[in-house]
Chains A and B, each alone.
Chain A
Amino acid sequence: METLILLLALFVLSLFLGVELIVKVPPTLHTPLMSGTNAVSGITLVGALLAAGSDSSPMLVNFLGFLAVTFATINVVGGYLVTNRMLSMFKRK
């Protein structure tokens, strides 16, 4: 139960931190913010690797893990690359 309370505390504090950070992002960068957070949400790759790489489980689990790895990798690779492409277009005169 203590672990759960700690995770919950982490969740709530991250939400507050998120609000403080995101409101400071200027409207000019809202599109890269969205694609960049898409990439960050690809952190589910960590969970996906654990599922796809596990051994004790039936084949079904590995297959679901494979799907999860594919989805999450698209987000990580696609998200960071497209964000980088957009951000490098923003130039000052």
Chain B
Amino acid sequence: MSPTIVNLVYLVAGILFILGIKGLTKPTTAVRGNMLSAIGMLIAVTVTLLDSEVVNFAYILAGALAGSLIGAVMALRIQMTSVPQMVALLNGFGGGASLTIALAEYFSVLDVDAKSFSDLLVPVALHSGAFGVAEEGTVALISIALTVLIGAVTLTGSLVAFAKLQGLIKKSHGLPGGPIGNGLILVGALVALGCLIVNPGQAVLILSLVAIALLLGLFLVMPIGGADMPVVIALLNSYSGIAAALAGFILGNTVLIVAGSLVGTSGLILTRIMCVAMNRSLANVLLGKMAASGDIVDADEIYAGKVTSAQPDEVAMMLEAAKRVVIVPGYGMAMAQAQHAVRELADAMQAKGIDVEYGIHPVAGRMPGHMNVLLAEAEVPYDKLIEMDRINPTFEDTDIVIVIGANDVTNPMARESEGSPIYGMPILNVDKAKNVVVIKRSLSPGFSGLPNPLFAMDHTLMVYGDGKKAVIEMTTALNQA
């Protein structure tokens, strides 16, 4: 097939990817958008297989079979609570694919018929001209080195992120030198990269670059805490896209560049949204630091004698008299597997003519938009899931807010207490509602470690115990009333 036709087909694939993402701007068109994007992928792959350079199908078939099997099993078996882990793994595989493509391109130019590993390390007389004419050779070489660097960092970084989300790694510690240690590794990687561009024939240089970059990914993500994982996986998502775009520069392939840059910007925008929602800078997250702790707040002083508790059936009586109720879920709800019970409570309320909506904070859950997926799985209609900026003005007209499994994102200290570490973080202003019901095991603090003055307010009732059980009891009492 002629290169002209191949490139025209790649153009069509690029358009389908763009239309696919455009479809994701509305829930009604999203499924179709995903299909369009998949069709784009299918035609891009088909036309590549017809390319005259592709002659050896054994490796392709083996890889495609293994990949399809692993991918399909993962996608069909995964629980919705574990989607962040899967996305972390997919980010890593994306980085791994770009890394191995760059290495394959390098070794195909090097053209050493290595019988053993040590044969590879013998320097070959080679200059950048082998990678392309004049400056193009240097640029191709730089693209290979950068793809290796970013691809390898994405691979190990994502594997660590996966292990943390899955609970395989619980502690968060980095190098003894902290950010300085990581900085030194990065300098080492850049030195290897520079040497490789000057001496392209020395395979030992690219192999050291791979090794250093793999380590860098490991140590970059190690010190970052579990609650910051949404930011990390969004950022690694972006890296995997950038690595793909760079691989496009190596191969002079337009569809790789278009698709890679779309993924790169998507990850960057989500990273920014997450950082803004936590009121933290990206540097601050990456260095694994919380904001300066500010004034020490004594939990006992805030809670002593002021916390009122209630039983689920008392809450049900209140609900019966309400006109508008907002449910504010946090990751705790998913941990308690209470999302189906919550939807049944909402159904019971709606059957009594109560207006029910859900208020979703951007960082609720373990990745951007995670809470929406968990509630969609429990068959909550998506038009009831209201984002922070739209739900906040409605709290004053809300009779009861039910907070379940959320804490820091409702803490009024973020709005009012200037010395507080979370000051300035955008929150759901649930304390503006007429009544607040908080379902929680105890008064223990959230990730910030701060007490929440909301719990001690006069119009707040605490329902202690298991979230799922409490919600089921409320539903039963409401149905009997």
Q: Interface residues, chain A, CB within 8 Å of chain B? A: 1, 3-4, 7, 10-11, 14-15, 17-19, 21-58, 60-93
Tell me, rounded to whole Å, the shortest Cβ–Cβ distance linking A51 to chain B.
Answer: 4
B279: CB under 8 A from chain A? no
A76 neighbours in B (Cβ, 8 Å): 41, 45, 67, 71
Docked-complex contact B245 and A11, CB < 8 angstroms: yes
Docked-complex contact A28 and B27, CB < 8 angstroms: yes
A93 neighbours in B (Cβ, 8 Å): 381, 383-384
Tell me, rounded to whole Å, the shortest Cβ–Cβ distance linking B52 to chain A.
Answer: 10
B247: CB under 8 A from chain A? yes
Contact sample, A vs B, 6 pairs, CB 8 Å cutoff: A3-B252, A11-B261, A24-B22, A60-B107, A66-B60, A92-B27
Docked-complex contact B244 and A78, CB < 8 angstroms: no
A24-B25, A71-B93, A74-B90 in contact; A34/B233 too (CB < 8 A)?
A: yes
Docked-complex contact B377 and A46, CB < 8 angstroms: no
Among B90, B96, B105, the one with the most A-chain Cβ atoms within 10 Å of its Cβ is B90
Considering only residues 269-284 of chain B, those with a C-beta below 8 Å from chain A are 269-270, 273
A18-B265, A48-B97 in contact; A58/B107 too (CB < 8 A)?
A: yes
Among A26, A40, A51, A54, the one with the most B-chain Cβ atoms within 10 Å of its Cβ is A40
Docked-complex contact B62 and A36, CB < 8 angstroms: no
A30-B368, A50-B48, A84-B34 in contact; A68/B382 too (CB < 8 A)?
A: no
Docked-complex contact A58 and B113, CB < 8 angstroms: yes
Docked-complex contact B257 and A83, CB < 8 angstroms: no
B66: CB under 8 A from chain A? yes
A34-B367, A40-B37 in contact; A77/B87 too (CB < 8 A)?
A: no
Tell me, rounded to whole Å, the shortest Cβ–Cβ distance linking A11 to chain B.
Answer: 5
A40 neighbours in B (Cβ, 8 Å): 17, 20-21, 37, 41, 259, 262-263
B215: CB under 8 A from chain A? no
Considering only residues 37-80 of chain B, those with a C-beta below 8 Å from chain A are 37-38, 41, 44-45, 48-49, 51, 53-57, 59-60, 62-64, 66-68, 70-72, 74-76, 78, 80
Interface residues on B, range: 35 or more
Helix, strand, loop or mixed for chain B's interface? helix
Across the A-B interface, how many residue pairs have beta carbons closer than 8 Å?
A: 383
A35 neighbours in B (Cβ, 8 Å): 83, 86-87, 90
B112: CB under 8 A from chain A? yes
Docked-complex contact B75 and A49, CB < 8 angstroms: no
B383 neighbours in A (Cβ, 8 Å): 92-93
Docked-complex contact B100 and A81, CB < 8 angstroms: no
B256 neighbours in A (Cβ, 8 Å): 43-44, 46-47
Docked-complex contact B90 and A78, CB < 8 angstroms: yes
Q: What separation, in Å, do the CA atoms of A78 and B362 have in the docked complex? A: 25
Contact with B64, one of A62, A69, A87 (Cβ below 8 angstroms):
A69
Docked-complex contact B76 and A72, CB < 8 angstroms: no
A4-B139, A54-B54, A57-B111 in contact; A73/B64 too (CB < 8 A)?
A: yes
Contact with A22, one of B21, B67, B367 (Cβ below 8 angstroms):
B21
Docked-complex contact A53 and B237, CB < 8 angstroms: no
B410: CB under 8 A from chain A? no
Docked-complex contact A7 and B257, CB < 8 angstroms: yes
Tell me, rounded to whole Å, the shortest Cβ–Cβ distance linking A18 to chain B.
Answer: 3
Q: What separation, in Å, do the CA atoms of A47 and B214 have in the docked complex? A: 22
A53-B60, A82-B75 in contact; A10/B257 too (CB < 8 A)?
A: yes
A28-B382, A77-B67 in contact; A85/B266 too (CB < 8 A)?
A: no
In the complex, residue of chain A having the shortest beta-carbon distance to the beta carbon of B26? A26
Q: What separation, in Å, do the CA atoms of A87 and B256 have in the docked complex? A: 25
**Residues 98-128 of chain B, each 1 if its beta carbon lies under 8 Å from chain A, else 0:** 1011011101100111100000100000000
